[in-house]
């Protein structure tokens, strides 16, 4: 390739430039967030190509996500002024290893068309082995074995290499079962995820010729986010780079957030030992964030003992302090963020006043920005020009300058179940959003499955719902069995549920499948009956004059929230995910819990189902800019002008698990995650917490995250939202309310209250009976007369959380959700 302009070098600072131009031998770039590691790595690829050192297929470049890989390819193309051709070896560890393994499968006794095992099958396979070994899988769940095996694979240990210290794993049977599992996988010509790397390491270790071939082939090796590599990945890299040692790794020990998946931050420290004479570059200038944001992030990460310790600086000036705000509950937090996003987009947000004066945007940054969103940059330029010539009043010009685009804004959550509140809110107000790294809440598999169960319980003729769940979880009702049900239903002109009932009665499906179908059908009938109370014979049937027996039902025995849980449990759906050992399974269970929580906002299942179909229908797919919602883990390496970090509460962030653990390891990883979160922000970083969150349909008080205490006061501005939240209310008012509603009368709540002034926690809204007001709980007092749309008038006889027990004049005693009540004089 002929040498082209090397303008990309001019965009780098001297340290970056050194790292880029130091093409031969090992290079380690160890530097904090936003210092331009990825930028330098990309420039290095461009430089390798531009100087003719390597052809595109001779560069092995590993990134952490496929999205990052795509982005890097585009960026290289831009730096070179033409699309980067080829680059077949730019990808994730897994995507690269699949390609390699297909070429050499026979060396580990596989065929090149091997399949990659899905998690269901993987667990089933392990269960069979566990059973065959006569192990009590209640005490020793197969899931546990799966975890043990994964861990060994992450450490590049084949069964024969598992150290003696691990011999006791899984009731002393772990190693033996691991060996059997590997044999079985080979017989099935299949691999699991961990095998992709493990097999490649094995091949390289045992076939010198193959290794040498690739050592020659991959003349230059580059690795981004190096701090998150596990031992297997590390060995793989060391083997490939072993001969020429042209390997450049970039990382940040403070951003190591995959320890739970076997990543070893020690790999960074080992680098200099394994590659003696490595050229080590430290970058300290941060180009991403304003000084306040940087100071906040640096202060938080200082709380970790185990770190190499680096200081970051920026020559940017001005900018906004990190904003901190407390909310009454999670729903209010979502509502507030929705409103702030609207304000950011219209240029009226006080979070970002004077936005474009924050720093002078250098030409390099301007070109980066363009790559991120060509559209935004063009729009900005047009704006600048128009503003120059227009005779708008200065304050309006200011608003225009302050505008953010939706795709410049992101919400980063600790746990994916937090997303639901935002999605619901954004759907309601029509704010376009996308969920990065996963489908949106109501589109998730587990949510759709659960909803299908609910639909079927509410309306047994919903054939689509039946089709979805008849064999989910697996009941041994395959295609053939399902055809039998379909045919029977058609022949009798009935719904699939009724068809299935006939199938069961007539014994048309034999064996396990038949028994399971019977169980499902009986379950559906039982759950359906639970949506109503017992039938009541009514004497006074003056309303009904058609001669038919009056059909009235008493209050259901279970609330619809309990019913939902019963359905998920008795159908086997909860167990299905509990037994699943994929990394996603815990998240799916959390989402199911969140779904059940969500029901609390509705009177019954039906109302909830209507709500979901309405919000889903409202939503039109638009190609325009969207707000991003993602987990902190998924945000690694990314940057956004405005970031919202909600849910900073002990138990959520840091997670309960990390707090319960003895030792500081888990907590330190959470703190690194906090550092990753804050350092994603360029101009605006807003941290929030809520005093109350619903967990399992129960209100729980939460304390602000301990990480909030670690934010440096000088760089944080505590927001109190006047007006929006019934501002002007005194905290004495809150005390009365707390006393009324005993749920808030806990030590945790009192402590929170003491800190409330400090953190500017918002106060419950005065307004009653608005759909968005989840805090109506305290608005009622014992004995107060109230009105309910469905049950009419009555008197309050009890208050429990946001539920109010009312003795209705006509309908009798019922517990209803507070926000469906209004005071009688309303």
Residues with catalytic roles: 37-38, 224-225, 255, 680
What span, in angstroms and rounded, lies between the C-alpha atoms of 44 and 222?
9
Give least dist CB 34 to ligand ATP, A.
4
What does 756 interact with, of ligand ATP, Mg ion, none (CB < 5 to 8 A by kind)? none
Smallest Cα–Cα separation from 691: which of 791, 760, 622?
Answer: 760
Q: How far is the CB of 41 from ligand ATP (least distance, A)?
A: 8
252 binds ligand ATP (CB under 6 A): yes
252 binds, among Mg ion, ligand ATP, none (CB under 5 to 8 A by kind): ligand ATP
Q: Which is nearer to ligand ATP, 119 or 365 (CB)?
A: 365
Is 84 marked within a binding site?
no
Residue of this chain nearest to Mg ion (CB atom): 38
Q: Kindly report the CA angle at 423 between 417 and 428, in degrees rounded to 5?
A: 145
Instruction: List binders of ligand ATP among 116-175 (CB under 6 A).
Output: none
Residues 6+ apart with CB under 8 A from 321: 292, 715, 716, 717
* 32 in a known ligand binding site: yes
Least distance between ligand ATP and beta carbon 625 (Å): 18
Stretch that binds ligand ATP, among 20-28, 344-352, 358-366, 448-456 (CB under 6 A): 358-366
Among 8, 28, 34, 721, binds ligand ATP (CB under 6 A): 34
The least CB distance from residue 362 to ligand ATP, in Å, is 6
CB 388 within 8 A of CB 395: no
- Please, which residue, 180 or 255, has the CB nearer to ligand ATP? 255
Query: Does 245 carry a binding-site annotation?
Result: no
Sign for the CA dihedral angle at 311, 312, 314, 319 comes to: negative
Q: Which residue matches tokens 């192990």?
A: 135
Q: Output b/e per residue, 151-181; b: 16+ Cβ within 10 A.
A: bbbbbbbbbeebeeebeebbeebbbebbebb
Measured CA angle at 660 (ends 657, 663), to 5 deg: 110
Task: Answer whether 705's CB lies under 8 Å from 295's CB.
Answer: no
Residue 36 binds ligand ATP (CB under 6 A): yes
* CB of residue 251 to ligand ATP, shortest distance in Å: 8
Instruction: Return residues touching Mg ion (CB under 5 A).
Output: 37-38, 637
Q: Which residues contact 795 (CB under 8 A, 6 or more apart)?
A: 783, 784, 785, 786, 806, 807
Q: Which of 16, 50, 488, 701 binds ligand ATP (CB under 6 A)?
A: 16
Instruction: Kindly give the residue spans of alpha helices, DSSP state H, lying in 619-730.
Output: 656-660, 665-678, 706-709
The count of residues in the chain is: 826
- Pattern of binders to ligand ATP over 366-405, x per CB under 6 A? --x-------------------------------------
User: Applying CB under 6 A, does 63 fall inside the site for ligand ATP?
Assistant: no
Give the nearest distance from C-beta 637 to Mg ion in angstroms.
Answer: 4
Based on CB atoms, which residue is closest to ligand ATP, 19 or 447?
19
Region 641-700 residues binding ligand ATP, contact defined as CB under 6 A: 679
Q: Cα angle at 441 between 440 and 442, to 5 degrees?
A: 100
CB of 223 to Mg ion, least distance (A): 11
Q: Interface with ligand ATP includes 254 (CB under 6 A)?
A: no
To the question of whether residue 35 is assigned a binding role by annotation, the answer is yes
Closest residue to ligand ATP in the complex (CB): 36
Q: Round to whole Å and give the CA distance between 220 and 241.
A: 8
Q: Are 781 and 805 in contact, with CB atoms under 8 Å apart?
A: no
Rounded Cα distance, 282 and 680, in Å: 20
Residue 165 annotated as binding site: no
Rule CB under 6 A: choose which of 37, 455, 501, 768 binds ligand ATP. 37
One symbol per residue from 259 to 288: x for binding ligand ATP (CB under 6 A), - otherwise; what is it?
Answer: ----------------------------xx
Nearest to 642 by CA among 359, 351, 367: 351
Compare residues 347 and 637 and give the one whose CB is closer to ligand ATP.
637
764 binds ligand ATP (CB under 6 A): no
Q: 582, 573 in Cβ contact below 8 A?
A: no
The partner residues of 323 in beta bridges, in order of sequence, read: 686, 717
Binding-site positions read 31-38
User: Residue ranges for the binding site for ATP?
Assistant: 31-38
- Site of interaction with ligand ATP (CB under 6 A): 11-13, 16, 31, 33-39, 252, 255, 287-288, 362, 364-365, 368, 637, 639, 679
């Amino acid at each position: 390739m002929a040498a082209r302009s090397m303008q990309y070098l001019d965009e780098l600072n001297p340290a970056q430039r050194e790292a880029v131009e130091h093409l031969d031998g090992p290079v380690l770039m160890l530097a904090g967030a936003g210092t331009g590691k990825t930028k330098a790595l990309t420039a290095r690829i461009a430089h390798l190509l531009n100087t003719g050192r390597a052809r595109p297929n001779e560069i092995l470049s590993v990134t952490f996500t496929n999205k990052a890989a795509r982005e890097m390819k585009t960026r290289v193309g831009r730096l070179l002024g033409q699309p980067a051709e080829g680059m077949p070896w730019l990808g994730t560890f897994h995507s690269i290893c699949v390609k390699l393994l297909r070429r050499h499968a026979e060396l580990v006794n596989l065929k090149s068309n091997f399949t990659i095992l899905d998690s269901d099958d993987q667990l089933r396979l392990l269960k069979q082995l566990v059973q065959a070994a006569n192990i009590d899988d209640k005490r020793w769940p197969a899931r546990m074995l799966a975890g043990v095996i994964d861990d060994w694979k992450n450490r590049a240990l084949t069964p024969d290499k598992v150290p003696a210290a691990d011999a006791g794993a899984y009731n002393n049977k772990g190693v033996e079962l691991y060996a059997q599992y590997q044999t079985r996988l080979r017989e099935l010509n299949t691999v699991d995820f961990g095998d992709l790397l493990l097999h490649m390491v094995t091949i390289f270790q045992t076939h010198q010729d193959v290794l040498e071939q690739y050592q020659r082939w991959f003349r230059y090796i580059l690795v981004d986010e190096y701090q998150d590599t596990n031992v297997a990945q590390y060995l793989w890299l060391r083997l490939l780079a072993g001969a020429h040692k042209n390997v450049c790794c970039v990382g940040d020990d403070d951003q190591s957030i995959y320890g739970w998946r076997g990543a070893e931050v020690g790999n960074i420290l080992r680098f200099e030992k394994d590659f003696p004479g490595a050229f080590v570059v430290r970058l300290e200038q941060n180009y991403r964030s304003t000084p306040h944001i940087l100071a906040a992030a640096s202060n938080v990460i200082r709380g970790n003992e185990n770190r190499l310790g680096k200081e970051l600086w920026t020559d940017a000036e001005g900018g906004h302090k990190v904003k901190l705000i407390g909310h009454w509950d999670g729903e209010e937090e979502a509502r507030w963020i929705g409103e702030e996003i609207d304000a950011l987009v219209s240029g009226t947000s006080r979070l970002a006043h004077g936005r474009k004066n924050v720093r002078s945007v250098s030409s390099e940054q301007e070109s980066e920005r363009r790559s991120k969103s060509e559209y935004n940059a063009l729009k900005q330029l047009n704006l600048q020009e128009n503003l120059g010539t227009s005779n708008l009043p200065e304050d309006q010009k200011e608003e225009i300058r302050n505008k953010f685009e939706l795709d410049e804004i992101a919400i980063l959550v600790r746990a994916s179940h937090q997303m639901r509140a935002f999605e619901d809110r954004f759907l309601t107000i029509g704010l376009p959003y996308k969920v990065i790294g996963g489908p949106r809440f109501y589109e998730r598999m587990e949510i759709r499955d659960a909803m299908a169960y609910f639909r079927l319980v509410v309306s047994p003729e919903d054939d689509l719902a039946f089709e979805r769940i008849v064999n989910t979880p697996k009941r041994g009702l395959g295609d053939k069995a399902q055809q039998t049900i379909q045919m029977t239903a058609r022949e009798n002109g009935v719904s699939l549920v009724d068809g299935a009932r006939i199938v069961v009665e007539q014994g048309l499906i034999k064996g396990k499948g038949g028994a399971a179908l019977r169980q499902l059908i009986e379950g559906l009938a039982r759950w359906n009956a639970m949506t109503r109370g017992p039938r009541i014979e009514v004497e006074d049937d003056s309303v009904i004059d058609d001669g038919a027996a009056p059909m009235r039902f008493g209050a259901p025995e279970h609330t619809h929230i309990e019913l939902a849980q019963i359905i998920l449990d008795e159908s086997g759906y909860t167990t299905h995910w509990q037994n699943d050992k994929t990394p996603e399974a815990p998240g799916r269970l959390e989402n199911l819990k969140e779904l059940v929580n969500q029901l609390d906002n509705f009177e019954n299942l039906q109302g909830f189902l209507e709500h979901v179909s309405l919000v889903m229908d409202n939503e039109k797919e638009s190609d325009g800019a969207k707000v991003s919602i993602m987990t902190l883990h998924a945000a690694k390496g990314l940057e956004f002008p405005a970031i919202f970090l909600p849910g900073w509460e002990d138990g959520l962030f840091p997670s309960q698990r990390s707090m319960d653990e003895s030792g500081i390891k888990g907590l330190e990883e959470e703190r690194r995650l906090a550092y990753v979160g804050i350092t994603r922000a360029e101009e605006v970083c807003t941290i929030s917490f809520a005093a109350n969150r619903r967990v399992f349909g129960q209100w729980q008080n939460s304390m602000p995250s301990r990480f909030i205490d670690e934010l440096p006061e000088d760089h944080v501005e505590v927001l109190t939202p006047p007006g929006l939240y019934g501002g002007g209310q005194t905290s004495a008012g809150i005390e009365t309310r707390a006393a009324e509603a005993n749920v808030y009368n806990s030590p945790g709540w009192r402590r929170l209250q003491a800190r409330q002034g400090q953190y500017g926690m918002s106060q419950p809204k005065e307004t009653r009976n608005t759909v968005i007001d989840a805090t109506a709980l305290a608005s009622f007092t014992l004995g107060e007369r109230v009105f309910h749309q469905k049950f009419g008038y009555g008197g309050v006889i009890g208050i429990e959380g946001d539920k109010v027990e009312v003795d209705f004049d006509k309908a009798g005693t019922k517990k209803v959700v507070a926000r469906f009540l209004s005071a009688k004089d309303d």
